[in-house]
């Protein structure tokens, strides 16, 4: 995720020989994040004994991925392939969330509204940052920073009171760091 938000800053850390890879690595990392998220949602289907849904959802996701490849690769090349994979993985997570919700499958340690909010806010942040050109413009830095702030604030917005109380000591420890950075 940081690869997306810090895309403008990565110009300083990427060797020019690998500058083309910068467009793909971050996108594929997002796909892997979504696959990890899907594996967290999957046990509910297994516990309900309705595993026949798993290949159906995977087929739909694969179809979306292939369609994305057909449409995006000719127009934007390798980055289009990465975006198509992310779209397929995002559809898999979304379909699994919908299935779990529609069938009333109980999720282990996961609440539907919180998961949906975080997935949606991450997707919106990614959409904003994917549009950035790989240059050193001030606009790119601002968009990257705003996207990161948006996502982090979304994460904090879904915390319950007990979780917020647990975060307060950490925030107090970080406060001196904020003062040092501003000086």
Reported residue count of the chain is 183
pLDDT score, position 67: 96
Q: Say how far apart CA 68 and CA 77 lie, in whole Å.
A: 12
Work out the pLDDT band at 22, boundaries 50, 70, 90: low
Task: Identify the burial level of 136 via C-beta atoms within 10 angstroms of its C-beta, where 0-12 means exposed, 13-18 middle and 19 or more buried.
Answer: exposed
Quick one: average pLDDT of 127-149?
69
**58, pLDDT greater than 90:** yes
Q: Say how far apart CA 43 and CA 133 lie, in whole Å.
A: 39
Average pLDDT, the chain: 77
pLDDT score, position 183: 46
Q: What is the DSSP letter of 11?
A: G
- Winning range, highest mean pLDDT, from 9-13, 81-85, 118-122: 81-85
Q: CB–CB of 10/3 below 8 Å? A: yes
Q: Which residue has the higher pLDDT, 138 or 60?
A: 60
**181, pLDDT greater than 50:** no
- Closest among 106, 182, 120 to 150, alpha carbons compared: 120
pLDDT score, position 69: 94
Please report which residue ranges of 77-137 form alpha helices under DSSP H.
78-103, 112-130
Q: Which residue has the higher pLDDT, 105 or 178?
A: 105
- Winning range, highest mean pLDDT, from 21-25, 77-81, 126-130: 77-81
Quick one: average pLDDT of 48-66?
93
**170, pLDDT greater than 70:** yes
**First CA to last CA distance, the chain:** 28
Quick one: average pLDDT of 122-133?
67
Q: CB–CB of 31/113 below 8 Å? A: no
For a pLDDT cut of 90, what percent of the chain falls above it?
Answer: 19
- What is the pTM for the complete model shown? 0.58
SS3 call for 50 = coil
What residue spans define the domains of the chain? 2-182
């Amino acid at each position: 995720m940081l690869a997306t938000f810090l895309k403008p800053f990565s110009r300083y850390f990427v060797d020019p020989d690998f500058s083309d890879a910068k467009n793909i690595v971050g996108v594929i990392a997002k796909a892997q994040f979504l696959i990890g998220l899907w594996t967290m949602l999957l046990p509910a289907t297994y516990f309900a004994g309705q595993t026949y849904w798993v290949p159906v959802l995977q087929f739909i996701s694969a179809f979306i991925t292939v369609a994305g490849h057909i449409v995006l690769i000719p127009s934007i090349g390798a980055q289009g392939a990465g975006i198509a994979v992310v779209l397929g993985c995002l559809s898999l997570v979304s379909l699994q969330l919908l299935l779990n919700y529609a069938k009333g499958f109980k999720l282990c340690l996961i609440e539907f509204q919180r998961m949906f909010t975080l997935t949606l806010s991450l997707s919106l942040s990614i959409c904003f940052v994917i549009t950035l050109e790989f240059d050193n413009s001030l606009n790119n830095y601002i968009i990257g920073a705003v996207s990161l702030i948006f996502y982090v604030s979304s994460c904090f917005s879904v915390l319950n009171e007990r979780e917020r109380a647990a975060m307060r000591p950490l925030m107090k420890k970080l406060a001196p760091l904020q003062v040092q950075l501003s000086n």
